[in-house]
Amino acid sequence: MATKSSSTKKKAAVKNVKKKKTDNAFMKPVQISEALAKVVGSKPLPRTEVTKKLWVYIKENDLQDKANRRNINADANLKAVFGGKKKVSMFEMTKLVSKNLTAIQ
Region 95-104 average pLDDT? 94
Query: Which residues share a beta bridge with 64?
Result: 72
Name the pTM for this structure. 0.74
Distance CA 40, CA 57 (A): 8
- Give the model confidence (pLDDT) of 11-60 as tens digits: 555 555 565 665 677 789 999 999 999 999 999 999 999 999 999 999 99
The domains located in the chain, with CATH, are: 27-103 (1.10.245.10)
Q: With contact defined as beta carbons under 8 Å apart, do 69 and 62 qualify?
A: no
3 vs 10, 14, 22, 97, CA distance in Å?
Answer: 11, 17, 36, 53
What is the predicted pLDDT for the residue at 105?
Answer: 82
